[in-house]
Amino acid sequence: MQLTQIVVLNNEVIGKPHTVEKAKSILQNVMQLVKIGQNIGITSITGHKVNKNEMYGLLARTTYYGVYKHNGEYHQGSFEPIIPKHLFDQVQDVLHDRSKQKKQDWFHAYKGLMKCGGCGRSVTAETKRKYYKRTDRYAEYTYYRCTKRKVICEEEGVTDIELEVMLKSYINQITIDREVWDLGVKLLKAKNYQEMETQIQTRSWFEKDLEKVDRQLEALLTLRLNEEITADEYARQKKVYMDQRLEIQDKINDREHSTKNWLELAERFFETAYQAREVMEKGSPEEKKTLIQTVGWNLILKDKKLEFSFKKPYDILLKPDIRSDMQGCQDSNPKKRFWRPL
């Protein structure tokens, strides 16, 4: 086999100076090189057509950069090298990367989020890779189907594209536009102001109760110091007052926590509803999965159709009267109508 016949692609021979990009381009598909070699009549020593493994062997010969192996030792040849050593090394790097077993690590965004409507088992996902000989390309197809674990189930699966279309249709039902989002932010500020006013007043009441208990503790201590009560009486009554004090402090903390928690939930509600459509259109698989987990529950796949239920409070956006309130209450009382569902 002649050295100048090792690889021919687009009428070029790897016997001339080439850049790294050219080397990678030539080695894009080793099978294509095999086909070209067979077409121009390259054969092995035994006379049969060159296969893929032999092509890898050909491309790894050190003779191309002027070094040959004899009796287990490498020697510098007296002939002119076909390619420089650095290009040979770069070619080996490309070959090494392509020869590695590629681990397929697909992320299926909606795996485990649905149940099969036929048998109740979980819906899993699988990606298949198909080779098209005519166009010499691979295509990947992802299907969501029943796991059929230990049961015979006749439910058919759907493609990821079909599932996304159905999911987007549901998500669009609870998506709010910019105008409603702006209004929601204004209502949040107004409601938060009202809550803070109420909280300040309530805290003032609780603090008065705390002061009363503290005075009782001081009086109790005075009685004990004057030996007007026994040590046992002092201990029993002190525990009563301390328990009362802890209960009041817990009420203050719970009130502050509930107000803060309410505000965070309300903000998250508006942000999620406002960004939902964009997430489904442009978001990453992880972002889409998080969105579906946030707003949806009881997802059932049956007869290639998706049944989707919304979690609270997102389900209120399905009601026409709620949407009317949201869009028409700029001049109305936000405390009475809009915030009741939240």
Give the pLDDT mean for 241-247: 88
Closest to 238 measured CA to CA, from 265, 217, 255: 217
Task: Give the 3-state secondary structure of residue 39.
Answer: helix
CA dihedral 31, 36, 38, 39 (to 10 degrees): 150
H or E segment to which residue 302 belongs: strand 296-302
pLDDT tens across 293-319, in order? 999 999 999 999 999 999 988 888 886
What is each CA distance from 33 to 71, 120, 131, in whole angstroms?
Answer: 31, 50, 18
DSSP-derived letter for residue 82 is S
- List the structure tokens of 208: 């008065």
Give the pLDDT mean for 225-246: 90
Decide which of 264 and 289 is more confident.
Answer: 289
Name the residue with tokens 């070699």. 37
Q: What is the pLDDT of residue 9?
A: 34
H or E segment to which residue 69 belongs: strand 67-70
**pLDDT band of 260, cuts 50, 70, 90:** low
**pLDDT band of 158, cuts 50, 70, 90:** very high
The answer to whether residues 310 and 296 touch, using CB atoms and an 8 Å cutoff, is yes
pLDDT tens across 111-123, in order? 989 999 999 999 9
Give the pLDDT mean for 244-263: 76
Q: Which domains are seen in the chain, by residue range?
A: 3-99 (3.90.1750), 174-328 (no CATH)
**Predicted structure pTM score:** 0.50
Q: What is the pLDDT of residue 195?
A: 66
| 17 pLDDT more than 50 | no
pLDDT tens across 92-109, in order? 777 776 555 555 556 788
- List the structure tokens of 289: 């999965």
Side-chain-side CA neighbours of residue 61 (13 Å): 21
Q: What is the pLDDT of residue 303?
A: 94
